[in-house]
């Protein structure tokens, strides 16, 4: 669950994990983030998801088939409650198709077979969504005189298509966030991950202050935080990934300069000494 949530987080999604290796406090904290939509995708094991009560779920995705048909019914029953509609998606290999047919029969339900969308399909949907959002902005947002003057200057100096394309990529594009995942820290063999803090010695930050601040804001014990580096302009720390998910969700809206106060550390950053 941690690995899948980690991969989703690296691609820009607000994902978290829920599993048996987490304490009750950690599970409750993650569930609260999910209920408040600070975390939008929750990757859960069967054991951890038992008795899960979250309203208004739009999708349940089965990453793997359960052994028991009753478990399948229990999983997909979490969406579409109280007369609302929901979708259940199950990933199946050709070898598992017979097992899925058995579950379908036992569950007395119909499952529509579909192919996984191609990257080109996803890109097309993203373009449609972006165009719709731009149309809405253009038709409803009041014009600012300063921006109109600036737009005239830009269009005189630059190719209009290049200007619009650059603005689209900067405002709506997820390419930088998703495709740049190769330089982002992975979970290591111990299930921990490296985090970047946008404060350092020049901001008066010390190990004691950092640990105290994190404990105050998240309740995470300093005992779970290791390998702290306080550099001049920024800092690093290491902690269990399921704890890091909570911290990242809490701090994603707390900005320092152009980015959040705490983020996943990138490899080139974690090697640097500043």
Ordered by start, the domain boundaries in the chain are 2-107, 119-180, 184-271
Whether 256 shows a pLDDT value over 70: the answer reads: no
> Hey, what are 66's tokens?
């359960």
- Predicted confidence at residue 201, as pLDDT, reads 94
Place of tokens 């209009």: 160
Q: Count Cα atoms within 13 angstroms, Cβ side, for 243.
A: 22
List 60's β-bridge partners, or say none: 88
Q: What is the C-alpha to C-alpha distance for residues 101 and 99, in angstroms, rounded to an integer?
A: 5
DSSP 8-state code for residue 67: S
Helix residue spans in the chain (DSSP H): 2-10, 24-35, 46-49, 69-76, 97-107, 119-140, 145-157, 160-171, 175-179, 207-218, 241-251, 267-271
- Which of 14-23, 81-90, 251-260 is predicted with the least confidence, judged by mean pLDDT? 251-260
Quickly name the fold that domain 2-107 has: Rossmann fold (3.40.50)
Whether 177 shows a pLDDT value over 60: the answer reads: no
> Hey, what are 74's tokens?
């229990």
Q: What is the C-alpha to C-alpha distance for residues 169 and 259, in angstroms, rounded to an integer?
A: 17
**According to CATH, what is the number of the domain 184-271?**
3.30.70.330
Of 174 and 42, the one with more pLDDT: 42
| Averaged pLDDT of the chain | 81
Q: What is the mean pLDDT of residues 180-203?
A: 71
In three-state form (DSSP H/G/I as H, E/B as E, the rest C), the secondary structure along 187-223 is: CCCCCEEEEEECCCHHHCCCHHHHHHHHHHHHCCCHH
- Predicted confidence at residue 198, as pLDDT, reads 92
Is 34 within 8 Å of 267 (Cβ atoms)? no
Of 199 and 107, the one with more pLDDT: 199
Q: What is the pLDDT of residues 101-150, one digit of tens each?
A: 888 888 777 888 888 788 788 888 888 988 888 888 888 776 667 788 88
What's the N-to-C CA distance of the chain in angstroms? Answer: 34
Q: What is the C-alpha to C-alpha distance for residues 240 and 252, in angstroms, rounded to an integer?
A: 18
Whether 203 shows a pLDDT value over 80: the answer reads: yes
């Amino acid at each position: 669950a941690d690995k899948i949530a980690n991969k989703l987080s690296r691609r820009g999604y607000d994902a978290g994990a829920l599993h048996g290796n987490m304490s009750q406090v950690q599970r409750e904290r993650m569930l609260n983030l999910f209920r408040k939509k600070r975390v939008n995708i929750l990757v859960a094991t069967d054991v951890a998801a038992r008795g899960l009560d979250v309203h208004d779920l739009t999708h349940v995705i089965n990453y793997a088939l359960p052994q028991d048909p009753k478990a399948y019914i229990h999983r997909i029953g979490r969406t579409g409650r109280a007369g609302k509609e929901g979708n259940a998606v199950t990933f199946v290999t050709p070898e598992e198709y017979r097992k899925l047919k058995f579950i379908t029969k036992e569950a007395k339900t119909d499952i529509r077979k579909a192919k996984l969308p191609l990257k080109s399909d996803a890109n097309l949907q993203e373009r449609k969504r972006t165009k719709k959002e731009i149309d809405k902005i253009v038709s409803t947002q009041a014009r600012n005189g300063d921006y109109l003057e600036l737009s005239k200057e830009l269009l005189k100096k630059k190719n209009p298509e290049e200007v619009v394309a650059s603005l689209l990529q900067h405002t709506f594009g997820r390419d930088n966030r998703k495709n740049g995942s190769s330089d982002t820290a992975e979970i290591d063999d111990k299930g921990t991950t490296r985090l970047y803090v946008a404060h350092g010695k020049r901001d008066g930050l010390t190990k004691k202050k950092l640990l105290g601040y994190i404990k105050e804001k998240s309740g995470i014990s300093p005992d779970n935080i290791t390998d702290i580096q306080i550099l001049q302009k920024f800092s690093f720390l290491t902690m269990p990934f399921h704890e890091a998910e909570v911290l990242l969700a809490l701090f994603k809206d707390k900005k320092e300069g152009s980015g959040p106060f705490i983020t996943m550390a990138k490899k080139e950053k974690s090697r640097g000494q500043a």
